[in-house]
Amino acid sequence: MTTTVPARHTTTPAPAGAALEVAGVTKRFGAFVAVDDLTLTVPSGSFFALLGPSGCGKTTTLRMVAGLEQPTVGSISIGGRDVTGARAHQRPVNTVFQSYALFPHLTVAENVGFGLRRRRVADVAARVAEGLDLVELGHLADRRPALLSGGQQQRVALARALVNRPALLLLDEPLGALDLKLRRQMQLELKRIQTEVGLTFVHVTHDQEEAMTMADTVAVMNKGQIEQMGAPAELYEHPRTAFVANFLGRSNLVPGTVVERLDGDLLGVDVGGVRVRVPAARAVRAEGAVLVGARPEKMRLLAEGEEPAATENAVGPGTVVDVSFTGVSTQYEVRVPGLGTFGVFAQNLSGRAGAAPGDQVRLAWAVDFTFGLDGRDDAAEGVADLDLEP
Amino acid sequence: MSLAVALGEGGGPPPAASRPTRTRGHRPLLLPGLAYLALFFVAPVAVLLATSLYVPVPGGDVGQYQPALHGQNYVDALAKFWPQLVRSFGFALMATLAALAIGYPMAYAIAVRARGRRLLQGLLLVLVVAPFFTSFILRTIAWKQILADDSFVVAALHWLHLLPPGGRLTATPFAVVCGLTYNFLPFMVLPIYASLERLDPRMLEAGADLYASPFTTFRTVTLPLSMPGVVGGTLLTFIPASGDYVNSSLLGNNTNTSMIGQVIDARFFKVLDYPTAAALSVVLMVAILVLVGSYVRRSGTEELL
């Protein structure tokens, strides 16, 4: 799969992808505000993901960049050129549509060559062959799209956009219709192609795993606004809102109140009568109501009689209400009276069974992995199982 | 409408080859249809073919013929009536092109522009079909009034100097083609509508995304995808228009507008020249089959046949 960096690339040099700037863009549909004063910059050559639940405005944002919708307010520039008023066919942008939108009356090769023909590029046939090579579909060039599988259609759609070497490649949930295994494969494939061709990719998805796997930078969108933007690890380890903490992976969030400031820049927080410590640098606010958070894989069950280390927070005892063994890890649900239910992912290191349902256990996790959010956030926001969405 | 929809279906994938063959038990259900076809299509065509080869009874009365295999009937009929035959196809072609020019934008407006507004779409479709609520003959007679020498249309054309002094519309080829266009317009609109209705608007977005201007998108995406409708519509217009005799007799009715249908009508019912009428009918049928066959083959929508 990595043998397709042909010398042909050098004969027609691919322009480095261009940067995208969205400045103060608002889009209203009647009274509904789909995108609310959105500002973001995508650096040239990066793989950028817009992540959010359906209806959060991510697709509308993408369509405005493509020129398929016009912003109500604000401006959009690509590679330093203001394209706000330009129509879709005048923009140096190509889209891989969610439904692929392949032309059913044209062959695969004609589909891929469509954009090149419109721009009257000289060596259409060679470029089409090159594009089909890139997605390894050269042998299907003369087929009609209807005769291809979903994964193949997806790759044709990708090739059809890529051959134009757009300044910006937009991907609108391009893997949404594929089954899980194929989706994983295509994620790696897309990442490889992006590295290979060096274009700027803007990828819209509601799948947080997909966004984290592929993108250099992820912007989490909710209700028409960007909640938080950063590298995947940064977002995961340092969520700034309850929505991000819950939407990106899973978080245990417990409401509490900051009661003191301790040495070593720690905040002492009272959660249901228990004192836990939060690094001030990892807290959104240093006083009043906060949500204390920790990722399930950062937590561990304390063995009978075991005391937490000095560098750990601890809560409990609580009752184990559910145990699910996944092979790599065991996931426990522990209900702690007064605090709620905690998820704990224990890596399967020993091969021995841990706690059983009904057991009383205490939970501990490193102070360093604790984060503090604004207590006015809804602790359940972003929790819904959005992976089940279409 | 169901006919239009069925005809518009040409763009779909061919039926799966592996369709289960559970039809055995259902065959009796075909009998009424087959009997109907045998009685009202196969038998009359056989009679027509036979009649076209008859010869007059020697010394018999007018309209008396006896069975024979007189192929010369065809040569005689064509030698005498080829101008009307050619004119029929010429008029039908003009009417088809005019109906396409008028009907495609209508269908596009209803299917694409009014998309999502079900009430408006329904209303517009009813307006397209509404003329069928009155009889074909009555509507054509109404056109006779509209194009009459003392009508406001003719008066307006005179005033605008578009019609020379003393020029008229009735009894001209123009009037006949107008009538044909008008009468068969719904047959053009409905199949094209059915095709455009199924057009995925995301195709148009994909076109725009791939650097095609709106016009180019229309030429390279919309039009090819609506071809099954266009082919269906042109066939539904051209075939009945070339055999039509109502428009030419009501709106034309002189020597330079008569069409083959009129000749056949006259041969059958006025002159009682059955063999010639039958021969012309057969020629018309075969000519249409050949024309339509080559047209459909060229347009690449064989599924319609």
User: Which A positions 145-164 lie with beta carbon below 8 A of chain B?
Assistant: 146, 160-161, 164
Q: Are A118 and B206 a contacting pair at CB < 8 A? A: no
What was the pLDDT predicted at B91? 95
Q: Quick check: A115 and B210 CB within 8 A?
A: yes
* Residue A353: predicted pLDDT: 67
Give the pLDDT score at A357.
87
Pairing of strands A274-279, A299-302: unpaired
- Check residue A285 and give its pLDDT: 86
Minimal Cβ distance to A89: which of B200, B211, B225: B211
Q: Which residue of A has its CA nearest to B200?
A: A101
Looking at CATH, the fold of the domain delimited by A242-381 is given as OB fold (Dihydrolipoamide Acetyltransferase, E2P) (2.40.50)
Answer whether B212 touches A (CB < 8 Å): yes
Whether A112 contacts chain B with CB within 8 A: no
Of A94, A102, A119, which has the smallest distance from its Cβ to B209's Cβ? A94
Put simply, the answer to whether B208 touches A94 (Cβ < 8 Å) is no
Q: What is the phi/psi pair of residue A179, to 5°?
A: -75, 165
Residue contact A89–B208, C-beta within 8 A: yes
What pLDDT sits at residue A325? 87
Q: A192 with A212: CB under 8 angstroms?
A: no
Q: Are residues B209 and A93, on separate chains, in Cβ contact within 8 Å?
A: yes
DSSP A117-148: HHTT-TTHHHHHHHHHHHTT-GGGTTS-GGGS
Q: What is the pTM of this model?
A: 0.78
Cβ <8 Å between A105 and B208: no
Share of chain B above pLDDT 90, in %: 51
Residues of chain A with Cβ-Cβ distance to B211 below 8 Å are 89, 115, 118-119, 164
pLDDT tens figures, A49-100: 999 988 889 999 999 999 999 999 999 999 888 999 899 999 999 999 988 9
Check CB contact under 8 Å for B211 and A95.
no
Backbone angles phi, psi at A10, to 5 degrees: -80, -25
- Geometric angle at alpha carbon A185, from A180 and A191, rounded to 5°: 125
Q: For residues B84 and A56, give the distance between their C-alpha atoms in angstroms, rounded to a whole number.
A: 68
Domain residue ranges of chain B, discontinuous segments joined by +: 52-304
* pLDDT over 80 at B15, yes or no: no
Q: Does B202 touch chain A (CB under 8 A)?
A: yes
Domain B52-304 has CATH 3.40.190.10: no
**Closest-CA residue in chain A for B206?**
A101
* Residue matched to tokens 């397209």: B128
The answer to whether A111 faces chain B, any CB pair under 8 Å, is no
Query: Which strands form A32-42's sheet, in the order they lie side by side?
Result: A32-42, A20-29, A73-78, A81-82
- Write down the pLDDT at residue A386: 45
Confidence tier at B211 by pLDDT (50, 70, 90): very high
Pairing status of strand A340-347 against strand A73-78: unpaired
Which residue ranges of chain A lie beneath pLDDT 50? Answer: 1-14, 386-390
Alpha carbons within 13 angstroms on the beta-carbon side of residue B141 total 5
Whether chain A has a CB inside 8 Å of the CB on B12: the answer is: no
User: How many Cα atoms within 13 Å fall on the side-chain side of residue B62?
Assistant: 7
If one counts every other C-beta atom within 10 angstroms of the C-beta of residue A113, the result is 26
pLDDT tens for each residue of B48-98: 999 999 998 888 888 888 888 888 999 999 999 999 999 999 999 999 999
Token pair recorded at residue B301: 């929508």
pLDDT above 50 (res B113)? yes
Provide the b/e sequence for B117-143 (b: ≥16 CB within 10 Å): eeeebeebbeebeebeeeeeeebbeeb
**Span A8-237 CATH architecture:** 3-Layer(aba) Sandwich (3.40)
Residue B111: beta bridge partners? none
Cβ distance of A119 and B211 shorter than 8 Å:
yes
Q: What is the pLDDT of residues B262-305, one digit of tens each?
A: 899 989 988 889 999 999 999 999 999 998 888 888 876 554 44
Spatial distance between the Cα atoms of A36 and A38, rounded to a whole number of angstroms: 6
Shortest CB distance from B212 goes to which of A66, A89, A93?
Answer: A89
User: Shortest Cα distance from A110 to chain B (angstroms)?
Assistant: 11
Q: Give the closest-approach CA distance of B188 to chain A in angstroms.
A: 22
- B210 and A160 in contact by Cβ < 8 A? yes
Contact with chain B for residue A345, Cβ under 8 A: no
- Confidence grade of residue B23 (pLDDT, cut at 50, 70, 90): low
Q: Which residues of A touch B214 (CB under 8 A)?
A: 89
Contacts of A161 in chain B (CB under 8 A): 209
Contact B13 A119 (CB under 8 A): no
pLDDT at B100: 97
Q: What is the pLDDT of residue B5?
A: 39
Q: Chain A: nearest CA to B205, how far in angstroms?
A: 7
Chain A: residue whose CA lies nearest to B201: A101
Q: How far is CA B27 from the centre of its chain?
A: 32
Average pLDDT of chain B? Answer: 86
- Residue B303 sits at the chain A interface (C-beta within 8 Å): no
Name the closest residue on chain A to residue B11, using Cα atoms: A105
Chain B residue with Cα closest to A164: B210
- Chain B residues close to A104, C-beta within 8 Å: 11, 225
User: pLDDT value at position A347?
Assistant: 86
Q: In the structure, what pLDDT confidence band is assigned to residue B256 with cuts at 50, 70 and 90?
A: confident
What's the pLDDT tens digit per position in B131-184? 888 888 898 888 888 888 888 888 888 888 888 887 888 888 899 999 999 999
User: What are the residue boundaries of the structural domains of chain A, listed by start?
Assistant: 8-237, 242-381
Of B205, B212, B214, the CB nearest to A101: B205
Q: Which residues, numbered 27 to 86 in chain A, qualify as contacts with chain B under a Cβ-Cβ cut-off of 8 Å?
A: 66-68
Q: What is d(CA B64, CA A10) in angstroms, rounded to the nearest whole number?
A: 87
Task: List CB contacts (< 8 A) between A29 and chain B.
Answer: none
Is A103 in CB contact (< 8 Å) with chain B? yes
Residues of chain B with pLDDT > 70, as a percent, come to: 90
Q: Which residues in chain A have their CB less than 8 angstroms from residue B219's CB?
A: none
Q: Hey, of B196, B203, B211, B231, which one would you mutate to test binding to chain A, going by the most A CBs within 10 A of its CB?
A: B211
For A330, half-sphere exposure in the C-beta direction (CA atoms, 13 angstrom radius) is 19
